[in-house]
């Protein structure tokens, strides 16, 4: 396609937005989800649950506008790109908290009892027994969350972030090739999502195999 070189800068920015936002959200969301799973003091439970409620109860567009207008009022001056990162991180971390919490709670209590009977402490049990199994269970919903974040990045065009959707709209304004650009966007988004999904499947199989080998060697 002759317009593809004009789409590539937007695609690169979309990739950067999605990966950086997802990575930071994982660093924040997963530990909070694990923390929430172990029934922390009521004040922390309330704050985490309120945060998750706000994220899940408001559209991503509202969260983007909130970041765009509220951050400058707080004296935080960022470029539209980094405001987009903040908005995507805020959104994704809320969902990842629930993903991590559900994964931890899905582990059978027998795993804890077995670890304690072997003399392992709570932290050692968490790090060596519970988290590896929980992480494996997190991968499919995490891949789905990554796909949602990729698609959500297209909304950042409303704050002038020149991602894929914004780049395609610029081309449409110049060439009036609406259907061609719509198709090109769809293909690029689908390819990106499929690649992330395949990576998740690969990691799930690889980590699952290692866990099986580790469990077998410990028998």
Q: Which is more confident, 88 or 181?
A: 88
pLDDT band at 216 (very low <50, low <70, confident <90, very high): very low
3-state secondary structure of 123: helix
CATH number of the domain at 4-217, please? 1.10.3720.10
pLDDT of residue 22: 96
Q: Has this prediction a pTM greater than 0.85?
A: yes
What are 167's two structure tokens? Answer: 């780049």
C-alpha of 177 from chain center: 33
User: Where along the chain do its domains lie?
Assistant: 4-217
CA-based radius of gyration for the chain:
21
Other Cβ atoms within 10 Å of 5 Cβ, number: 8
Give the Cα separation of 23 and 91 in Å (integer).
12
Give the Cα separation of 128 and 132 in Å (integer).
7
Q: Mean pLDDT over residues 100-119, rounded?
A: 88
% of the chain residues with pLDDT over 90: 51
Task: List, for residues 46-84, the tens digit of each pLDDT value.
Answer: 999 999 999 999 999 999 999 999 999 999 999 999 999
């Amino acid at each position: 396609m002759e317009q593809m070189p004009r789409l590539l800068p937007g695609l690169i920015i979309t990739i950067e937005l999605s990966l950086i936002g997802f990575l930071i959200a994982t660093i924040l969301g997963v530990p909070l989800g694990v923390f929430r799973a172990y029934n922390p003091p009521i004040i922390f439970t309330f704050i985490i649950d309120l945060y998750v409620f706000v994220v899940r109860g408001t559209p991503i567009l509202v969260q983007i506008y909130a970041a765009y207008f509220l951050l400058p009022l707080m004296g935080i001056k960022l470029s539209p790109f980094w405001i987009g990162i903040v908005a995507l991180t805020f959104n994704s971390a809320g969902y990842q908290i629930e993903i991590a919490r559900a994964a931890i709670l899905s582990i059978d209590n027998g795993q804890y009892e077995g670890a304690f009977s072997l003399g392992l402490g709570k932290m050692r049990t968490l790090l060596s027994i519970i988290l590896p199994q929980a992480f494996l269970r997190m991968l499919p919903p995490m891949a789905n969350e990554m796909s949602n974040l990729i698609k959500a990045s297209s909304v950042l065009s409303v704050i002038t972030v020149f991602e894929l959707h914004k780049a395609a709209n610029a081309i449409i304004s110049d060439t009036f090739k609406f259907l061609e650009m719509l198709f090109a966007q769809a293909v690029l988004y689908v390819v990106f999502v499929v690649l992330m999904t395949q990576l998740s499947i690969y990691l799930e199989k690889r980590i699952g195999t290692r866990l099986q080998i580790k469990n077998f060697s410990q028998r």
